[in-house]
Structure 1
């Protein structure tokens, strides 16, 4: 082998292990994304998705047994393999969205919110009924749940709307946002989907608080929300059945009672992967009650770790927003992570029997194509709105204390 050949191979090898690749001097699209993205948040999401895949693998035999009628031909890991496929589709979507600038994502979200709202209006007419509710549209190649995709688009659109108040305080922004929320709430309750209605309402109030709405008005909205739940109890059959079952033990409480027994059956450390037996009695082990499967097979300590992981994601985003100067980015990112955390909280509360059954999945843990893809869009938007240019220095907060200005 001659000297020129050896030199060429050395240069080729050096290019593969170039220490400057994705370094701070890299100005390529991927290089800028790598340094601007919140890598801690990305890592937390990756850990959550990985744990979710393990949980679906644990719940898959129970779901397969239930929906196959005990047929031996039905693969016990059927839902696990399908979840891998959905993750393979969803993760590139999340990364692709996280690489986009904020302005195109704002426009995309407004268009997405309009499309999903129209689809939501078509669900009671064209949707397929599953477990007594019409929430899905059949697209031939699969089912599409408009409410799941509407969640992130609604939050970003609402953030854009509320941020307009900075440019013109005379605009009736709060009234307009209330009207839009009312339209979505009516469409959701027709399905019926009372749980998602509550999430949309709570996130809206939280975003109003962040946008600086008067405290008295916020308190009034909170009271109005409680009155709304009371009225729903008396005039909305779904809410009546769920609340009666939760408070008075009336009706069919098999699901939530069995979920709690399953969750605590494993004790602190669980029965081990594949060792759970009570999960075979759960009606939706792979979706609504997967948190109980985690408790049985991996123990209450694992359940606590999952809860802390959600808390870490929420805390990371809120801390990241402390020095953000763009009001739209603050509202959008805060709204997305509050919605994410609230959905997780409600699912876990149902599993431990401190909230009535809602039919709501555990984010990135539960099985589901629509849920996984919609959450990936939401987290892609969140990653995009929390991106920071490492070459820009942000202005520190200046606080007046004792007549003297100091840096916070």
Structure 2
């Protein structure tokens, strides 16, 4: 154990948070998959083992991501953006359709579904951090700085929003926060917001899922008038929370897992409150708040703009996603398909979330090394360029 700890660098609080969320995830997934296991003639242990494998794979990716100098990700971001746009377009046209939305593509050979928006989030945030850093001296230049930024944000937003509006809105919000931190002028930020509003209006009123969005908003705003089928998930989630009490029913004693359509992913927070009570729900909120606080310390301590922007963007993305999921579970927002980071059962979403945590830890590791005098073997790297290896 000491050997493992000696090889892990970066903020120890974030490592502890990752371990806590992973263990809680295993408990919640094992408890919540009994019904789906019965329906599919499988055992809950099979789902647990599969989820354990994904958690282990995520931890491995997090470890390797944190060992890589974060400045490498500046160069990688260009490749990711080149891949992301056509991949999102391919998903919209040829992706697997679930609940009237083409969000997934199937990876050949391993036959594993892959949600391309997970890659897009990572790609856009790293690309914006790199661009804002490299263009600081010409940040107000429309052609050199503003148009590439606005074009990338708008393209990713519209391609994700057509199938997954909630994810697109969160990513757009994170992008605006990065633009503010990156000293983009208020006028240019307002132009980006205006473009986003126009695209959002088009998606809501003209997009392929406009009826779904309208029904979900109607069910949220007027639940007493809504179709019972449309408000079923939200109602069952509220029942789970109401019956959980202060200390909960205990691990594995949930009853609403038999009624909630997705108690292991979209509504895992409702199941957690039912089993661990209001106290458990508050503890989970505090864990994500501590994570955000530790990331803010990393952002303020980072000597390089790229590291600060990278840590800020990824931490905001993960935290906003977490609170969006929890808000839906407690009835503070319309139903979405946003998972709870590192807690909800998932495949590639866990892996990409783990990479995001790893990149943040890489920035933290760099800060630690500089405080301790630096690594004598460390090579100087130009932000946005992949340094020579070896």
Q: Conserved in 1, the CA contact under 8 Å of 2:161 and 2:169?
A: no
- Is 1:82 equivalent to 2:50 in the alignment? yes
Q: Secondary structure at the match of 2:104?
A: strand
Report which stretch shifted further, 170-179 or 204-213: 170-179
**1:244 is matched with which residue: 204, 210, 218?**
218
Matches within 5 A, 1:46-85: 46-65=19-38, 67-68=39-40, 71=41, 74-85=42-53
* Distance (whole Å) between structure 1 residues aligned to residue 264 and residue 220 of structure 2: 22
- Aligned counterpart, 1:377: 355
**2:105 is matched with which residue: 122, 126, 137?**
137
Q: Secondary structure at the match of 2:105?
A: strand
* Distance (whole Å) between structure 1 residues aligned to residue 368 and residue 70 of structure 2: 17
Change (3 A) 1:389 1:176: closer
**2:262 is matched with which residue: 284, 296, 308?**
284
* Distance (whole Å) between structure 2 residues aligned to residue 387 and residue 261 of structure 1: 44
**1:116 is matched with which residue: 75, 79, 84?**
84
Change (3 A) 1:369 1:168: same
Q: Conserved in 2, the CA contact under 8 Å of 1:149 and 1:374?
A: yes
Q: TM-score, normalised by structure 2?
A: 0.85
Q: CA deviation at 1:325?
A: 2.0
- Is 1:349 equivalent to 2:317 in the alignment? no
Q: Secondary structure at the match of 1:269?
A: coil
* Distance (whole Å) between structure 2 residues aligned to residue 119 and residue 354 of structure 1: 33
* Distance (whole Å) between structure 1 residues aligned to residue 332 and residue 194 of structure 2: 22
Cα RMSD (Å) of the superposition? Answer: 2.4
- Aligned counterpart, 1:165: 135
* Distance (whole Å) between structure 1 residues aligned to residue 249 and residue 264 of structure 2: 18
* Distance (whole Å) between structure 1 residues aligned to residue 250 and residue 115 of structure 2: 34
- Aligned counterpart, 1:174: 146
Q: CA deviation at 1:213?
A: 2.5
- Aligned counterpart, 1:154: 124
- Aligned counterpart, 2:157: 185
1:350-382 Cα shifts (integer Å, max 9, x gaps): 101111111110000000111111111111111
**1:39 is matched with which residue: 12, 15, 22?**
12
1:180-212 Cα shifts (integer Å, max 9, x gaps): 11111221133x110111011101100011112
1:327-366 Cα shifts (integer Å, max 9, x gaps): 1111111000000001101111110111111111000000
Q: Secondary structure at the match of 2:362?
A: helix
- Is 1:202 equivalent to 2:173 in the alignment? yes
- Is 1:301 equivalent to 2:279 in the alignment? yes
Report which stretch shifted further, 206-215 or 170-179: 170-179
Give the structure with higher Rg (CA): 1
- Aligned counterpart, 1:7: none
**2:340 is matched with which residue: 339, 362, 367?**
362
Q: Conserved in 1, the CA contact under 8 Å of 2:138 and 2:145?
A: no
* Distance (whole Å) between structure 1 residues aligned to residue 302 and residue 290 of structure 2: 19
- Aligned counterpart, 1:4: none
Unaligned 5+ segments in structure 1 are 1-15, 23-29, 395-408
Unaligned 5+ segments in structure 2 are 373-390
Higher relative CO (CA 8 A, sep ≥ 6), structure 1 or 2?
2
1:107-153 Cα shifts (integer Å, max 9, x gaps): 22331232233221111222111122111111242111111122122
* Distance (whole Å) between structure 2 residues aligned to residue 167 and residue 151 of structure 1: 26
